[in-house]
Structure 1
């Protein structure tokens, strides 16, 4: 047994004990995690999923209008439109499919960035999808990068970037035909169980675009290529997908409504206003000068 004097003279005397303690803690933590995984696999084997019941639960969940409204996302890419199931729909499918382990883990933080992992593991079939990615601690605001220092902001940034990877992992494990049936059921829910006439719902949606994103009805009609009076249920669903994409930060207003179209619309309105002013001036010049007219000329403003 070493005395206190020898410990102070030789600081490395007690170091092996600390290393052994650290190694023992690491081994205990790894052993505990391994036992938890074995327990999950054992329970999944003891109570396997009923595929038909799981499919029915998923379709019943997709009949809820609140989920159907956020079930799809869409964004423009290369002149075409990309659509797919959102993270909300993917999570709902995973919850009702059963015997899945999925989530997002932050592995480490270093030099203004985080290394995280998104995963989904089917405990019955041992099918696993995993994606490791890096998240910069910065966001783009007003054309410049803003560094994040608040731990809460960093956590939200990692969770937001990890949601897309988690959705990809879940959809990589769930059978594709189940996902297709869920999407079809959500579309049917929006078309058949929507409250109120289609005209009123589209008008409410257009008002929301104008109030939240300064997107006018003319800009929406210019994108679709026809008047809002001709919008169908599928157009209403597409408007919902665009709104969800803007809300989740998957795209920007300029991605859907280019600035060139806005400028053309503004210039067109300005030309119409000038023409109306010229017509008003012509009417004023043509009025008789000797007597005051009983009725004032109508100004087209």
Structure 2
């Protein structure tokens, strides 16, 4: 008596759409490598493109960030500068994606990557982003979908910046940062007096008067330089990007009882406290 022979079950069948997408992805990678080999980067042209971009205020004013941390200040280059350098260097692909969102554990698994197609150098960062933020000395859970999206986007941008800088030569990055700082110091061609008045007016809209600006820089505005205006511009952009609060960047001077009741014609003496990380050195 013959019994039917059961065929061994093979792997799950791949759908047509999945097969097409896999083939497309492989072909895209092969095409990128082929084009990069056919049209290798010209370092001289890449530097020219970078220098032209860093010589504009449009990039320079977005090139740096600054925010307080642990009694000091953290500053560096932004994702805006990183993307511009990747475009100038050429033959670089990069991206960031949310791989998985876990609402039960309130976290997202994300990945940021940058790939120098010509040198075949790839830097990948996989990381977990909690759906929470640290505010007012405590951790607050994020519930609103827009807040979660913005939190993931901000964390992804920081990792993407690291990935891009990992595949670009250090000399290229250093030269770009120096040129951007020079552009900020020179400004947009306006006289220094006009730039000072513009800076005071911009911060006045944020509720920061000239006295608090002078306290931060450590000298009266009549002695401000282009570098001082550049520092204020970086701080202003960081406030706009919500990397730092106004009161954190420009803390109010604390007044003691002795100063209030002292023999000073009834006027309050406002001096930067010694433990204030934003207060500059007193002028001599």
Which bin holds the TM-score, normalised by the shorter protein? 0.7 to 0.9
Corresponding residue SS for 2:13: helix
Q: Which moved more, 1:56-65 or 1:111-120?
A: 111-120
When Rg is computed on C-alpha atoms for both structures, the one with the higher figure is 1
CA 1:104/1:257 → structure 2, altered by over 3 Å: closer, same or farther? Answer: same
SS at match of 1:237: helix
**Distance change in 2, residues 1:271/1:253 (3 Å):** farther
Pick aligned residue for 1:45 from 34, 37, 58: 37
Cα offsets for 1:227-273 (capped at 9, x unmatched): 12211111111111111222223333344334xx4333999689799
Residue segments in structure 1 that go unaligned for 5+ positions in a row: 1-15, 277-301
Relative to structure 1, the CA distance from residue 192 to residue 144 in structure 2 (aligned partners, 3 Å threshold; closer, same or farther) is closer
Superposed CA RMSD: 3.1
Q: Tell me which residue corresponds to 1:145.
A: 140
> Aligned equivalents of 1:115 and 1:109: distance in 2?
6
TM-score between both structures, scaled by the size of structure 2: 0.78
* Among 51, 57, 69, the residue aligned to 2:61: 69
Helix, strand or coil: the match of 2:215? helix
Q: 1:266 to 1:108 in 2, by over 3 A?
A: farther
Answer whether contact 1:120 1:130 (CA < 8 A) is retained: yes
1:253 — aligned with what? 246
Shift of 1:186: 1.6
Query: Which ranges of 4 or more aligned residues in structure 1 deviate by more than 6 Å?
Result: 141-144, 269-274
Higher helix share: 1
| Deviates further, 44-53 or 30-39 | 30-39
Pairing 1:177–2:171 present: yes
| Gapped regions of structure 2 (runs ≥ 5) | 1-8, 268-284
Q: Which residue matches 2:111?
A: 117
Aligned residues: 257
Secondary structure, aligned partner of 2:125:
strand
Query: TM-score when scaled to structure 1?
Result: 0.74
